């Protein structure tokens, strides 16, 4: 199978339009149509429902898309590694993260590592929280920096903690709890909540519910959303309460929302580095040793 077919298919699912996909790839619409038809013939199933406007993948097409994204990432990872090896024998260490708090936790270690390891090139990619462990296990990335919830139960992944913290409630300046110095469990669960949905944050969603139950309450989740920006929108416009880690920076809208500590809550977290125990990348060992050395000082 020509690997370019994979890219065409991924772009078609994103664009939902043959013409736009052709324009994006600098080929004719006929080429895109032929390549997609070729994939459907090869796998003996319909991947795209062409009767829908905009076009929509079939159930089989969505399954194919998820695997195609992984395959395309692996292919590009291989190309990068081989190109760097051919050019100057530079070692590549690819890292993934899911939120800005992950980057804040690792950024302070990077300058000194680069200084002592000039032949190791670091790559950084943002992914959905729910995909972090899967991409690590499929060796698309060497290192993941994210919440400990995504490594829970993964025996093949080793972790090191970079930061330990607690979740806070996020409320708007119109909310009755806005001026509280802290929020009790009774106060927190008396109001409706907004959360990132499980298709975005994976295990973290269910862990938040488990923590609420451990607090002794059944949370009133009125709204689930795909990203932080939308969560903030509902916090401000609908007076819902959100959950953010205590190291999240909200200074850009500090007059409109507040992070408020929770009293005696089970809502805690860790930002961790995770990597496969049997990862053979020679660049991984000096990176982990560097982190451990800085933490021991």
Instruction: Kindly tell me if the per-residue pLDDT of 88 is higher than 60.
Output: no
Euclidean distance between the first and final Cα of the chain, in Å? 52
Residue of 126, 110, 117, 162 lying closest to 274 (CA atoms): 162
What's residue 181's pLDDT?
95
Q: What digits encode the pLDDT tens for the residues 97-130?
A: 998 889 888 888 899 999 999 888 898 999 999 9
Query: What pLDDT sits at residue 213?
Result: 92
DSSP letter for 175, please.
Answer: S
The string of pLDDT tens digits covering residues 53-62 is 888 999 999 9
Whole-angstrom CA distances from 159 to 191, 274, 284, 294 are 36, 4, 13, 16
Tell whether the torsion through CA atoms of 113, 279, 66 and 68 is positive or negative. Answer: positive
Q: Given pLDDT bands bounded at 50, 70 and 90, which one contains residue 253?
A: confident
Q: What is the pLDDT of residues 178-237, one digit of tens each?
A: 999 999 999 999 999 999 999 889 888 998 899 899 989 989 999 999 999 999 999 999
Which architecture, in CATH terms, is 74-162+272-296?
A: 3-Layer(aba) Sandwich (3.40)
Instruction: Report whether 263 contacts 183 (CB < 8 A).
Output: yes
Query: Contact at 8 Å (CB) between 96 and 132?
Result: yes
At residue 89, does pLDDT exceed 80? Answer: no
Query: Which of 291, 101, 76, 122 is closest to 201 using CA atoms?
Result: 101
What's the pLDDT tens digit per position in 265-282? 899 999 999 999 999 888
Find the Cα–Cα–Cα–Cα dihedral 236, 239, 241, 246, rounded to 10°: 30
163-269 has the same fold as 74-162+272-296 = yes
Whether this prediction's pTM lies above 0.75 is answered by no
Whether residue 195 contacts residue 243, with contact meaning beta carbons closer than 8 Å, is answered with: yes
Cβ-proximal residues to 101 (8 Å cutoff; 6+ apart), any chain: 163, 245, 247, 248, 271
Q: Does 76 score more than 70 pLDDT?
A: yes
* Secondary structure element (H or E) that encloses residue 135, with its range: helix 132-137
- Evaluated on CA atoms 160, 78, 132, 151, the torsion sign reads negative
Q: For domain 163-269, which architecture applies?
A: 3-Layer(aba) Sandwich (3.40)
What is the three-class DSSP state of 47? coil
Give the CATH number of domain 3-58; options: 3.40.50.1100, 1.10.10.10, 3.40.80.10, 3.40.605.10: 1.10.10.10
| Cβ count within 10 A of residue 138 | 14
Q: Give the closest residue to 140 by CA, choosing from 99, 105, 92.
A: 92
Element (DSSP H or E) covering residue 206: helix 203-214
Sign of the torsion angle spanned by Cα atoms 149, 153, 158, 164? positive
pLDDT for 182: 96
Domain ranges of the chain: 3-58, 74-162+272-296, 163-269
Q: Alpha-carbon distance 38 to 116, whole Å?
A: 49
pLDDT at 84 over 70: no
pLDDT tens sequence across 136-182: 998 889 999 999 999 988 999 999 999 999 999 999 999 999 999 99
Residue 170, strand partner residues: 242, 259
Chain CA centroid to CA 247, Å: 17
Alpha-carbon torsion (144, 147, 150, 153), positive or negative = positive
- At 46 the pLDDT is 94
How high is the pLDDT of residue 296?
74
Mean pLDDT (the chain) is: 90
CA-wise closest residue to 207 among 157, 165, 151: 151
Please tell me the distance from the alpha carbon of residue 171 to that of residue 240, in angstroms, as a whole number. 7
pLDDT at 297: 66
């Amino acid at each position: 199978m020509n690997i370019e077919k994979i890219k065409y298919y991924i772009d078609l699912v994103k664009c939902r339009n043959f013409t736009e996909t052709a324009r994006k790839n600098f080929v004719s619409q006929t080429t895109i149509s032929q390549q997609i038809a070729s994939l459907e013939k090869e796998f003996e199933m319909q991947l795209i429902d062409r009767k829908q406007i905009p076009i929509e993948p079939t159930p089989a097409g969505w399954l194919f898309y998820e695997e195609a994204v992984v395959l395309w990432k692996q292919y590009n990872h291989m190309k990068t590694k081989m190109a760097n090896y051919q050019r100057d024998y530079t070692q590549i260490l690819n890292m993934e993260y899911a939120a800005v708090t992950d980057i804040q936790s690792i950024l302070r270690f990077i300058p000194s590592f680069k200084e002592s390891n000039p032949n190791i090139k670091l790559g950084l990619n943002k992914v959905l929280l729910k995909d972090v462990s899967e991409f690590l296990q499929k060796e698309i990335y060497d290192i993941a920096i994210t919440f400990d919830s995504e490594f829970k139960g993964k025996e093949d992944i080793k972790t090191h903690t970079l930061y330990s913290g607690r979740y806070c409630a996020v409320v708007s300046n119109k909310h009755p709890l806005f001026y509280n110095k802290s929020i009790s469990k009774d106060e927190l669960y008396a109001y409706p909540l907004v959360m990132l949905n499980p298709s975005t944050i994976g295990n973290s969603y269910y862990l938040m519910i488990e923590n609420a139950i451990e607090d002794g309450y059944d949370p009133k989740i009125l709204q689930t959303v795909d990203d932080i920006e939308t969560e903030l929108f509902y916090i401000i416009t609908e007076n819902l309460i959100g959950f953010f880690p205590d190291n999240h920076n909200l200074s850009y809208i500090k007059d409109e929302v507040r992070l408020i500590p929770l009293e005696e809550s089970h809502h805690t977290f860790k930002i961790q580095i995770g990597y496969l125990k049997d990862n053979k990348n020679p660049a991984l060992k000096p990176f982990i040793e560097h982190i451990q050395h800085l933490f021991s000082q």
